[in-house]
Amino acid sequence: MNSAVTIRTFIIFLLTFWVFAPFVNAASNTIDGIRVWPAPENTRIVFDLKATPDFTYFSLNNPQRLVIDFKSTLNLVQLENLAKNDTRIKRIRTSTPKEKGGMRLVLELAENFNLTVFPLAPAGQYGNRLVVDLFDKQRKESIVATKKLNDKRDVVVAVVAGHGGDDPGSIGASGSYEKHITLNIAKKLARLINRQTGLKAVMIRTGDYYVNHDRKVELARKNSADLLVSIHADAFTSSQPSGASVLVQSTRRADSEFTRWISNREKESELLGGAGEVIKHTKDDNLAITLFDMKKEYTMASSYEFAEHVIKQMKKVTKLHKKRPERLSLAVLKSGDIPSVLIETGFISNPQEEKRLNNSAHQQKLAKAIFTAVNHYFESNPPEGSLLASMRLKQHKVARGESLSVVAQRYNVSVGQLKSVNNLTSSVVRIGQTLKIPRTDYN
C-alpha cells in the first residue's frame, strides 16, 4: 500500500476522533424512549435510558414548566408529537443544557400540578427509567350515583383491571399484554353488574393507564364499595401451568394492616361505620382493639366466602389451577374494611390459554361466571339498607306431598321462575329441599 495513502488515512482517523470523541465521552447515557400515559387523575411520563439516570429537576411558573437536566446524556427521541393526546402537557422540548454534554428537557404544562420524579431500576422487559408523575391538584372523586328505589341504595362492586399504562403485567408467548385482557374482562363484568337491579359497578381503571394499589383501595372506599374484585391473568416461567385461581388476603398481611390501623386509629376509624365513632373517641384501648379485630375477621371471612362462590362458577367455564381459595400477601387486597378477592383468570404464559384469554367470547364467559358469583353472594349476604336487602328472597322447605307447582301457586310465582332462581333443570323436588322464592308484588 502507498505510504502516503496510509499516512493520510491515519491523519483523517485522528481528526475524526479528535472532533467527535468529546461528544461520545460526554454522552455516557442516552434517552432511548419516552412514553406518555394520560389517566383521569394524573399523567405519567417514562424516560427509557441506556444507563442509570444522573439528573436534577426544578419547576418554573408563568408559564408553568418542569425542567429536567440529565448529566452526560444524549436524547435519541423525536419530541414533537409525544404529548399530543394529553391535556396536562402542552409540549416537550429541549433547552440549553446546564452543562456541556448534558441534556435539558422542558415539559410545558397546562397548569400547576403536584409532581413526583423518581428513577426505576431495570425490571422485566424494561431497562433503566426515570418516571415523572403529574397529579391534578384536585382529584376528581368519582362518587357513584346509585339507583334508588324506596330510598334503598345499590350494592357497589369495585372492579379493578390489573396493571395498565407502563405496567403491562405479564406478556404472553404471542406478545399479548395482561393489562389489555384484564381491562376487557373488567368492562364486560361491569356491564353485567350494571344491568342487575340493586347492583352497581365502579371501574377503578377505565383505560390504559396505571393506578397504584393504595389509590385502588382509596377509590373503592370513596365510592362506598361493598366488594372489591381485582382481575388478573397468571404467568409462570414455563408454558405448562394453566387454569384459574382465586386469591384472598393472607392472615399475616391482614395482621400487619391491623397493626397499622391500631397505631393510626384516629384516621382509620372512619372506615368502620358506626363502630368507628366508638373506636375514635374511646379511651379504652382494649375496646378499640376488639372492634378493629372483629371488623378484620368479618372482612376476611366475607372475602373467603365470596372467593368460594367465584370458584364454584369459574369451574363451569374454565379449568381451575387451584380448587380452593389461596391466601397470599397482595397489596390490592390489603383493605381491612372491604371484602376483596383477586381472580387469576388463567395463565397467559400458556399458549393455548393465552389464545382463549384473548377471545372475546371466552372473556364474556369468565365475566358472566364472576357476575353470577357476585349475584349469588349478595343474594345471601345483602348489606343492611340496600335494595337487595329489601328484596331478599324468601325460602321454603318442601313438605311431604308438595310439588314445584304447588309451591309456585302458594307464592304466586310461575314454575319457570322457581326453576330459574333455584337453578333447577327439572320440576322434581324432594322432601326437605329448600327453595328460594322470587320476590313479586304479591308475596
421 against 354, higher pLDDT? 354
344 against 423, higher pLDDT? 344
CB 184 within 8 A of CB 162: no
CB 437 within 8 A of CB 413: yes
CB 86 within 8 A of CB 41: no
Does the domain at 155-387 match CATH 3.40.630.40? Answer given as: yes
Does the domain at 393-437 match CATH 3.10.350.10? Answer given as: yes
Tell me the percentage of the chain whose pLDDT exceeds 90. 53
pLDDT confidence of 440, banded at 50, 70, 90?
A: low
pLDDT confidence of 252, banded at 50, 70, 90?
A: low
Q: For residue 18, is pLDDT > 60? A: no
pLDDT tens figures, 414-424: 888 888 778 88
146 against 244, higher pLDDT? 244
Q: Which of 326, 319, 308, 323 is nearest to 362 (CA)?
A: 319
pLDDT of 342 reads 94
Q: For residue 146, is pLDDT > 50? A: no
pLDDT of 278 reads 47
233 against 293, higher pLDDT? 233
Distance from CA of residue 17 to its chain's centroid? 52
Distance from CA of residue 318 to its chain's centroid? 22
pLDDT of 296 reads 67
pLDDT of 442 reads 45
Q: For residue 258, is pLDDT > 80? A: no
Q: Are strands 65-70 and 55-60 parallel, antiparallel or unpaired?
A: antiparallel
Does this chain's domain 155-387 share its CATH topology with 393-437? no
Residues sharing a CB contact under 8 Å with residue 369, sequence separation 6 or more, in sequence order: 310, 313, 314, 316, 317, 318
Instruction: Kindly state the cell numbers that stand for 253.
Output: 398481611
| Among the ranges given (233-247, 284-298, 347-361), the one the predictor scored with the smallest mean pLDDT | 284-298
Q: For residue 332, is pLDDT > 80? A: no
Q: For residue 275, is pLDDT > 70? A: no
pLDDT of 13 reads 44
Tell me the percentage of the chain whose pLDDT exceeds 70. 79
Domain ranges of the chain: 25-135, 155-387, 393-437
Q: For residue 348, is pLDDT > 90? A: yes
pLDDT of 44 reads 94
pLDDT of 264 reads 52
Q: For residue 300, is pLDDT > 70? A: yes
pLDDT confidence of 284, banded at 50, 70, 90?
A: low
Q: For residue 338, is pLDDT > 60? A: yes
Q: For residue 443, is pLDDT > 60? A: no
- Report which listed range, 131-140, 181-190, 334-343, is most confident: 181-190
Question: What mean pLDDT value characterizes the chain?
Answer: 83
Q: Which of 317, 140, 282, 285 is nearest to 223 (CA)?
A: 140
Q: What average pLDDT does the segment 285-295 reach?
A: 59
Residues sharing a CB contact under 8 Å with residue 189, sequence separation 6 or more, in sequence order: 159, 201, 229, 231, 367, 370, 371
DSSP for residue 51: S
SS3 324: coil
Read off the amino acid at residue 196: Q
Long-range CB contacts (< 8 A, 24+ apart) of 143-149? 143/222, 143/223, 144/200, 144/202, 144/223, 144/224, 146/200, 147/197, 147/198, 147/200, 147/387, 148/387, 149/387
CATH class of 25-135: mainly beta
pLDDT of 265 reads 44
pLDDT of 23 reads 47
pLDDT of 319 reads 96
pLDDT tens figures, 85-142: 899 999 999 999 988 889 999 999 999 999 999 999 987 778 999 999 999 987 655 4
Instruction: Kindly state the cell numbers that stand for 255.
Output: 395482621
Instruction: Kindly state the cell numbers that stand for 172.
Output: 404472553
pLDDT confidence of 16, banded at 50, 70, 90?
A: very low
CA 207 to each of CA 180, 191, 258: distance values in angstroms, whole numbers, following the listed order: 9, 15, 33
**Ramachandran sector of residue 164 (left: φ over 0; alpha: ψ -120 to 50; beta: rest):** left
